[in-house]
Chain A
Amino acid sequence: MNSIISLRNINYSYEKKTILHHINFEIPRGAFVGLLGPNGGGKTTLIKIILGISKPDSGSLTLFDKPLEEFKDWNKIGFVSQKSNSFNKGFPASVYEVVSSGLTSKVGYFKFFNQKHKEKILQAIDAVGMSDYTYENIGNLSGGQQQRVFIARALVSEPELLILDEPTVGVDYENVQRFYELLHDLNKQNGITLLLVTHDTGTMTKYATNIACLNKTLHFHGKPEEFENLTEKEMSKLYGHDVNIISHDH
Chain B
Amino acid sequence: MIADLLEYDFLRQTFLTGILIGIIAPLLGTFIVVRRLSLIADALSHVTLAGIAFGLFLEKKFAFMVLPPIYSGLLFSVMGSIFIEKLRSVYKAYQELAIPIILSGGVGLSVIFIALADGFNTELMNFLFGSASAVSRTDFITILIITIFVLVIITLFYKELFTLSFDEEHARVSGIHSKQIHLLFIILTALVIAASIQIVGVLLVSSLMTLPVAASMRIAKGFKQMMFLAIVFGELAVMIGLISGYYLNIPPGGTIVVVAIIILLIAIGYKKLQVTKGG
Residues of A with Cβ closer than 8 Å to B? 51, 53, 72, 74-75, 79, 81, 83-84, 87-88, 90-94, 96-98, 100-107, 109-110, 112-113, 135-137, 153, 157
Contact = CB atoms under 8 A, between A and B. Distances in A.
Contact of B174 (A87, A88, A93, A102): A102
Given A87-B166, A104-B162, 6 more contacts: A53-B173, A94-B223, A104-B174, A105-B163, A113-B159, A157-B174
Contacts of A104: 159-160, 162-163, 171, 174, 176
A84 B167 contact: yes
B222 A94 contact: yes
B63 interface: no
Contacts of B169: 81, 83
A88 B223 CA distance: 14
B146 interface: no
A75 B222 CA distance: 25
Contact of A92 (B173, B174, B175, B226): B226
A107 B159 contact: yes
Nearest to A137: B221
A140 to B, nearest CB: 9
A53 B178 CA distance: 14
Contacts of A96: 222
B217 interface: yes
Closest 10 CB pairs of A and B: A94-B222, A101-B163, A104-B163, A105-B174, A74-B175, A105-B175, A93-B223, A104-B159, A137-B221, A92-B226
Given A84-B170, A87-B167, A105 B176 contact: yes
Interface residues of B, number: 26
B179 interface: no
Contacts of A135: 221-222
A136 B170 contact: no
Given A93-B223, A96-B222, A79 B159 contact: no
B224 interface: yes
B3 interface: no
B156 A110 contact: yes
A198 B28 CA distance: 40
B160 A92 contact: no
A92 B176 contact: no
Given A75-B174, A79-B173, A84-B170, A92 B159 contact: no
B166 A98 contact: yes
Contacts of B223: 91-94, 97
Nearest to B226: A92
Given A92-B222, A93-B222, A136-B221, A101 B173 contact: no
Contact of A97 (B157, B173, B176, B224): B224
Interface in B206-233: 217, 220-226
Contacts of B174: 74-75, 79, 102, 104-106, 157
A156 to B, nearest CB: 11
A244 B171 CA distance: 40
B139 to A, nearest CB: 31
B64 to A, nearest CB: 43
B240 interface: no
Contacts of B162: 93, 97, 101, 104
Nearest to A87: B167
